[in-house]
Structure 1
Amino acid sequence: MASLPPPPAPSVSPPVPPYVIALADDLSGAAETARALGGPVRLSLDAADVAEIAAAHDLVVDLNTRDLPPAEAAYAVRTALRAAQTGPPRLLYKKVDSQLRGNLAVEAAAYAEGAQAVIVAPALPAARRTVTGGVVHVNGVPLHRTDGWRAERAAAPRSLPEALSGLPVRTVPLDVVRSEAAVLDAEFRRIAASGAHPVADAETDADLDAVAAAALRLGTGFRLLGTGGLAAALGRALVRPAAAPAPSPAQDSDPLLFVVGTAEPGAAAQIAHLTALGAHHVPLDPADLAAGTVSLPRTAAAPALTVFSIDGSAGLRPGAGRALSAALAALVAAYPGRPDLVLTGGETARTTLDALKIRELEPLGEIHHGAVHSRTPDGRRVVTRPGSYGAEDSLLRIAVALRPHLAAATVATAATAAT
């Protein structure tokens, strides 16, 4: 009788560094990653801080490369990696957009330099963004058939291999992701040995948990690239001290300024919930913003609740986002007083904080998925949220979390609407 083949060798767990260095291409994604990792964390807007490797916390750095020219974006990633590798090894994580926007191909290629392999898993189940057959789906629809790239200069990629053009990748199907740990580890090793990088299908958080656990078993030669979903899986897999509890909300008397820098169609309905509470809404014409002809009315004191938004009713010019964000940031810097801020869209968030000379955030909590509540070094409260996230009541929920007295007004408004 023929002897049976030996069972696969068990996966060996190499020593895992307790802390992570994560690189993001925009600020809302950096904040999302910082909260997802779950341990003590520093969120920096200064790429030079990647060299700070001795402290006992995760470090998430916004490289602010989403809208840079490709060569500059790749250079920023390479520079950060060199700084990250000058001390004891840490697990490296690259945060990418769940709809694959930005300089994904060139940044991934730069990030892969010197790695045994990069494990790619950009699914985000919490936002109903999944990956099957190497194709990103949004609410079950392939990405290239959605309008997620309507403000981009190019068409959405049809698959992850297309989005990562120039980087050799191999798709790891769901049945392998959901197989025994030794089988998944062996597949990742096999792909790495062939000179390629594994792209993992995933539909659930459990799928991402399996990917993150495999990366930890394989060691720091394998780097991770994904969204906040994979970062959260990594946070669940790592055993570290818990982050500090969030402090009490800010004073109700402080002004609160919403800066809605997204072209998402749902933004108007989100803003409507705030105006129903009496928020002062300032829609801004994109042509006037770009021309620098918008000015704020002079008032004795800022309203308690104000919303700046870009009027997209006439459509927005693809590629204009950076200039419009800069113009919005200039308005915020000129706003009277020192309001707490709610910033939607990564580019809007980054340019606004740059204009205010804020270089670091302390993440405190998450109001809803992707809406990260942070504190600046001087005590100002800031909430960042990707432009494409959030249900119709997203901004309302953020307002109530920051200003609890609005909860009663919300109930009264809902009761009035029902009668």
Structure 2
Amino acid sequence: MLALADDLSGAAETAAALGLRSRLVLGPATVAPPAGGEAVVIDLDTRRSPADEAARAVRTSLAAGSPDDAVMFKKVDSLLRGNLAAETAAYAEGAAAVVIAPALPVAGRTVLDGVMHLHGTPLHATNAWRAESAPVPRSIPGALGSLSTATVPLADVRAGTNVLIERLRAAVGDGRHPLCDAETQSDLDAIAEAALQLGPGIRLLGTGGLALALGRSLAAGRPSHPEEDESPLSPAASADRPLLIVVGTAEPGAVAQIAQLTSNGVGHIALPPDLLGNAAELPRLDVAPSGITVVSIDNSKGMSPCSGRRLVAALARTVADVPMQTDLVLTGGETARSVLDALGITQLTPVGQIHHGAVCAHSPDGRTIVTRPGSFGDADSLLRIARALRPLHRPQTPAPSPTLAAEPPPVAQGETL
């Protein structure tokens, strides 16, 4: 199987949801095609790229890593962000059709009458796109641009496999790409099962929910991959080295997630944008040899999408300059990719999930790395991740804050600048 995603946290979510032996490749790049029983998941890193570059990355990855008998899956953002129209058009090239099902019920994202809903409210009536510069799409066909689609209503999705297959075939026969309504994981399971019976040339496009359904269908007869596992997932994680939780997302929920950590004795370093904005003198993180530290960008005064990307890149370089090897929790796909690029890590081996979207993986240099989309997780998300990786962690007393000098001093664990 070959799967493509436009950011790293989405690629990791896909790899975990599929439940197959996986290679997660930080691309686009030439990669060895997937072997039998294996999924190759490529992070295109195109969420913020120009549309033509994003489309080219899709074509390059398809040409490099797609054997004729591979199942093809394109993971998209459940809030329809990124270069959805350009990437889907490139993904559809050479396919008999693309079956589209972008619902993610576990996160409250459902599709009804071709419109994405967030916890029952149409996406365009929410503030979920507050950090985006483009207008929010009012429907999924509108987000897909010129791609010809045919909406498959919820009644047909739930009418049984044979009815759904015929509905999908009718759309394909008309030269259109089926766009499926879905409100539950069972709806997505039905869509995946039907799509896989349409024959060669059919590709699938959706979120981690469709990836989970696809993995279940492909693994019929074997135990399904668990959606959640509260136990520590990584024997490589070592309490003898630091765990650094890096929060680069501007999602408001991250504030409450960090607060849960600090109330449980985790040191917090909040880096002001003006300190990160000085590329010549980035701050140095003085991380304790063991223990847990959360580092974030101080977003108390707001952060524009333009400056946000620059600050995340500076945050990544700051994390990469920590003088000892750390295990990492990386929230937000752009943050995760920036940190791994700065560390020179080009491939990950996913090993499971701590909760939905919080994917635990191993890197070639022996680190344990957890990635999670910025918009995912309840208020205790980061705390759950920290406890899974460091179950024996004991609270530490924060150190006093330093005085900033002309040259930024080391930023010690537990300090908020």
Structures share fold, TM-score greater than 0.5: yes
Alignment match, 2:2 = 21
Please tell me whether residue 336 in structure 1 is matched to residue 336 in structure 2. Answer: no
Over 3 Å counting, the alpha-carbon distance change for 1:111 and 1:322 in structure 2 is: same
The correspondence of residues 59-74 of structure 1 with structure 2, limited to 5 A, is 59-74=40-55
Q: Which residue of 1 aligns with 2:22?
A: 41
Task: Indicate the residue corresponding to 1:77 in structure 2.
Answer: 58
Name the counterpart of 1:395: 382
1:102 maps to which residue? 82
For residue 109 of structure 1, what is the amino acid of its counterpart? A
Q: Which letter maps to 1:184?
A: L
Q: Is the 8 A contact 2:271 2:297 kept in 1?
A: yes
Partner Cα distance (2:144, 2:320) in 1: 38
1:291 counterpart residue number: 278
Q: CA 1:299/1:136 → structure 2, altered by over 3 Å: closer, same or farther?
A: closer
Match of 1:262 in 2: 249
Task: Name the aligned partner's letter for residue 225 of structure 1.
Answer: L
Q: 1:109 Cα shift?
A: 0.5
Question: Which stretch has the larger CA shift, 351-360 or 54-63?
Answer: 54-63
**Cα separation, 2, equivalents of 1:179 and 1:320:** 49
Q: Given the two structures, how large is their TM-score scaled by the length of structure 1?
A: 0.88
Alignment map for 1:202-213 (pairs within 5 Å): 202-213=182-193
Q: Any conservation in 1 of the 2:233–2:389 contact (CA below 8 Å)?
A: no
Q: Residue 327 of structure 1 aligns to which amino acid in structure 2?
A: A
1:153 and 1:319 in contact (8 A); partners too: no
Q: Distance in 2 between matches of 1:169 and 1:322?
A: 33
Counterparts of 1:88-237 in structure 2, within 5 Å, are: 88-237=68-217
What residue identity is the alignment partner of 1:329?
Answer: A
Could you tell me how far 1:293 is from its partner in structure 2?
6.3
Give CA deviations for 1:341-360 in whole Å, capped at 9, x if unaligned: 00000000001000000011
Q: Is the 8 A contact 2:241 2:290 kept in 1?
A: no
**What is the DSSP-based 3-state SS (H/G/I as helix, E as strand, rest coil) of the residue aligned with 2:339?**
helix
Please give the secondary structure, in 1, of the residue aligned with 2:169.
Answer: helix
Q: 1:283 is paired with a residue of what secondary structure?
A: strand
Q: Secondary structure at the match of 2:197?
A: helix
Number of the residue aligned with 1:53: 34
Instruction: Indicate the residue corresponding to 2:401 in structure 1.
Output: none
Per-residue Cα deviation, 1:185-231 (whole angstroms, up to 9, x for no partner):
11111111212111100000110001100111012311000000000
Aligned residues: 389
67-76 vs 41-50, greater mean Cα deviation? 41-50
Task: Could you list the structure 1 runs, at least 4 aligned residues long, displaced by more than 4 angstroms after superposition.
Answer: 240-247, 297-303
Q: Which residue of 2 aligns with 1:12?
A: none
Q: Which amino acid aligns with 1:52?
A: P
Q: Give 1:290's aligned amino acid.
A: G
Q: Are the aligned partners of 1:92 and 1:220 in contact in 2 as well (CA < 8 Å)?
A: no
Aligned to 2:261: 274
Q: Please provide the CA RMSD for this pair.
A: 2.1
User: 2:5·2:44 contact (CA, 8 Å) conserved in 1?
Assistant: yes
The 2-side partners of 1:293 and 1:29 are apart by 32
Q: Is the Cα–Cα contact under 8 Å of residues 236 and 367 in structure 2 kept in the other structure? A: no
Q: Determine the structure 2 residue equivalent to 1:17.
A: none
Matching of residues 334-373 of structure 1 within 5 Å: 334-373=321-360
Residue by residue over 1:318-375, the C-alpha shift from the partner in whole angstroms, topping out at 9 and shown as x without a partner, is 3333222211110011112111000000000001000000011111110011000111
Q: CA deviation at 1:84?
A: 3.2
Q: Please say if residues 240 and 289 of structure 2, whose CA atoms lie closer than 8 Å, have aligned partners that are also in contact.
A: no
- 1:310 deviates by 1.5
- SS at structure 2 position matched to 1:320: helix
TM-aligned CA deviation for residue 157 of structure 1: 0.6
After superposing the two structures, state which structure 1 stretch, 230-239 or 317-326, moved more: 317-326
Distance 1:297 1:108, change over 3 A: closer
Aligned to 1:315: 302
User: In 2, are the aligned partners of 1:302 and 1:336 still within 8 Å (CA)?
Assistant: no
CA contact (8 A) 1:77 1:111 kept: yes
Given that 1:249 and 1:403 are in contact with CA atoms closer than 8 Å, whether structure 2 keeps it comes out as: no
- Would the aligned equivalents of 2:234 and 2:389 in 1 still touch at CA under 8 Å? no
Distance 1:396 1:53 in 2: 35
**CA distance, structure 2, for counterparts of residue 83 and residue 30 of structure 1:** 17
CA 1:300 to 1:374, structure 2 compared with 1: closer, same or farther past 3 Å? closer
How far apart, CA to CA, are the structure 1 residues paired with 2:212 and 2:201? 20
1-structure distance, mates of 2:36, 2:364: 18
Mapped to 2, the partners of 1:394 and 1:294 lie a distance apart of 33
1:342 and 1:383 in contact (8 A); partners too: yes
- Structure 1 contact 152–319 (Cα < 8 Å) conserved: no
Deviates more, 1:168-177 or 1:179-188: 179-188
Deviates further, 32-41 or 279-288: 279-288
Distance 1:318 1:296, change over 3 A: closer
**Contact conserved, 1:284 with 1:308, CA < 8 A, in 2?**
yes
AA in 1 matched with 2:101 = A
